[in-house]
């Protein structure tokens, strides 16, 4: 006789949504702070935005949007008991997330090369508004990058759980919740793109 394991999928989903609300509050506060500073230093923020590579920002946006699609396809695949397809879509999502981080690392590397990083001697010579712009840029994109790393870690665990049948057609709430977290990461980036890369 098999032992019945109690599961509260509704509670798990509710808990994830409550957690996502706290994340929205966190970034919402940063967005409000950004808006105030941009209102205070419009010309400096305009010039600071021109220093960023908008092409890379748009490419990374397309990368993350595609990764959101592959997460959805992975969930649909596991619902249909298509384990191999689910694993393939999760693997694609991980590859796209890693691509995002690689592109971001090249972009950050270029900024460090040009002395545009917090507390750098060159940044100290720029107007206060530009110092604020790049301070917010590194803070907000850095925090977002940290969320990408956390999301990739979660999805990596989900891939392993699919492979070991811990996630299956009758039990996939953890995959759904990880997908929700990944969608939040994508949505935050969609807001960061115009705030920084299109600020010029």
Residue range 136-161, pLDDT digits in tens: 999 999 999 999 999 999 999 999 99
Residue 2 falls within a domain, yes or no?
no
- Using DSSP's 3-state secondary structure scheme, residue 100 falls into helix
In a domain, 49, yes or no: yes
Chain position carrying tokens 């935005």: 49
Would residue 1 count as lying in a domain? no
Token pair of 29 as six digits? 């506060």
φ/ψ (deg, to 5) at 60: -65, -35
Whole-structure pTM value: 0.91
Whether residue 23 lies inside any domain: the answer is yes
Q: Average pLDDT of 38-53?
A: 93
pLDDT at 4: 47
CA–CA–CA angle 17, 100, 46 (5° rounding): 90
Question: What is the distance, to the nearest Å, from the Cα of residue 2 to the centroid of all Cα atoms in its chain?
Answer: 41
Q: Would you say the C-alpha torsion 161, 153, 198, 105 has a positive or negative sign?
A: negative
CATH number at residue 47: 1.20.120.80
Whole-angstrom distance, CA of residue 97 vs CA of residue 173: 21
Distances (CA, A) of 65 to 30, 60, 72: 22, 9, 11
Q: How many domains does the chain have?
A: 1
In a domain, 26, yes or no: yes
Residue 85 is assigned to a structural domain of this protein: yes
3: in domain: no
**Domain coverage including residue 175:** 9-197
Could you report the per-residue pLDDT of 85-104, keeping only the tens digit for each?
Answer: 999 999 999 999 999 999 99
Residue 41: closest CA among 122, 137, 131: 131
Nearest-angstrom CA–CA distance, 31 and 29 = 5
pLDDT confidence tier of residue 6, bands split at 50, 70 and 90: low
Whether 4 is in a domain gets the answer: no
């Amino acid at each position: 006789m098999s032992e019945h394991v109690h599961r509260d999928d509704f509670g798990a989903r509710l808990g994830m949504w409550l957690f996502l609300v706290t994340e929205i509050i966190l970034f919402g506060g940063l967005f409000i702070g950004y808006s105030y500073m941009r209102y205070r230093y419009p010309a400096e923020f305009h010039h600071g935005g021109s220093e960023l590579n908008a092409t890379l920002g748009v490419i990374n946006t397309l990368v993350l949007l595609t990764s959101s699609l592959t997460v959805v396809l992975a969930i649909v695949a596991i619902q249909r008991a298509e384990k191999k397809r689910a694993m393939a879509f999760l693997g694609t999502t991980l590859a796209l997330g890693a691509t995002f981080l690689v592109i971001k690392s090249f972009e950050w590397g270029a900024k460090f090369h040009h002395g545009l990083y917090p507390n750098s001697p060159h940044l100290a010579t720029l107007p206060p508004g530009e110092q604020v712009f790049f301070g917010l840029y590194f803070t907000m994109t850095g925090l977002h990058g940290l969320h990408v790393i956390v999301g990739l870690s979660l999805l990596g665990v989900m891939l392993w759980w699919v492979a070991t049948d811990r996630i299956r057609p009758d039990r996939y709430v953890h995959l759904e919740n990880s997908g929700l977290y990944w969608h939040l990461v994508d949505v935050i980036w969609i807001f960061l793109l115009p705030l920084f890369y299109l600020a010029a």
